[in-house]
Amino acid sequence: MTWLQSLNLETNCLENIDFLSNHVNLNYLDLSNNAGINIQIVQYFVNLQFLNLELCYISEISALRPLAKLKVLNLSDNNIIFIHPLRQLTQLTQLNMNYNKIINHQTIQEFFDKQNLLGKQFTWEEQYDPSIEQFLFAAMMHQIDSITISLRQTGVNRQKIKKSLQFYKKHVSQTLQRQKDELLLFSHNIVSLFAQLNCEVYQ
């Protein structure tokens, strides 16, 4: 089936996509909403022009280096910190990096300015802020009381915390089947925390 050019595998609970190794002529591939997927095989799809990896839990993107023909790339809602592997993607016209862990925005802007992406559809807003790690850890450990106390004692922007919790809530919904009991409790705690945050913000 090397003739296949377009493929949508969105939300299929995929972790390994080595079965695609023969589809070297793909130019459109949607792998979004497959938490924990291994994307190494993607490096062989050198004809890709569209690639969607939204909400895949990926942090390492070196496999994208050979994809010089890419024009549209969605990497939103992941755990990406370093963007250097994108240096070779000079044909990009649309790039979405929202909701990742890229903190140094000035460096990013300078980097992509050299790539001639500014002025095109390039977004990297709402990056995860490590300053709220303590709140997310407390949510994971079901320590809602500790979170409430911390919120009252610090000047951390509550709206920023809510956005980051939304980031993690999306990931929770994607991995619910694999860790159902633990994540149900985590999801319940996030909902409770949202209610508390709403009270804190509007008081």
- Where is pLDDT greater, at 25 or 191? 25
- What is the mean pLDDT of the segment spanning 115-141? 54
Query: Contact, 28 vs 49, CB < 8 A?
Result: yes
CATH of domain 6-123: 3.80.10.10
pLDDT classification of 79: cutoffs 50, 70, 90: confident
CA distances 72 to 15, 32, 85, 95, 141, Å, are 23, 14, 16, 6, 38
Q: Which residue has the higher pLDDT, 97 or 196?
A: 97
Tokens matching residue 121 = 């559809």
Give the pair of three-digit tokens for residue 98: 């929202």
Q: Are 136 and 157 in contact (CB under 8 A)?
A: no
Cα–Cα distance measured from residue 145 to residue 87, given in angstroms and rounded to the nearest whole number = 45
Quote the CA–CA distance of 150 and 139 in Å, as a whole number: 12
Q: Is 36:15 a contact under the CB 8 Å cutoff? A: yes
In the chain, what is the greatest distance between 2 CA atoms, to the nearest angstrom?
A: 60
Range picked from 13-17, 155-159, 186-190 for highest mean pLDDT: 13-17
Host H or E run for residue 95:
strand 94-96
d(CA 88, CA 116): 12
CA pair distance 193, 203, nearest whole angstrom? 15
Amino acid identity for residue 124 in this structure: W
Q: Record the pTM.
A: 0.61
Closest to 167 measured CA to CA, from 81, 76, 95: 76
DSSP 100: S
Of residues 182 and 46, more confidently modeled: 46
The answer, yes or no, to whether residue 151 has pLDDT greater than 90, is no
Greater confidence, 54 or 144? 54
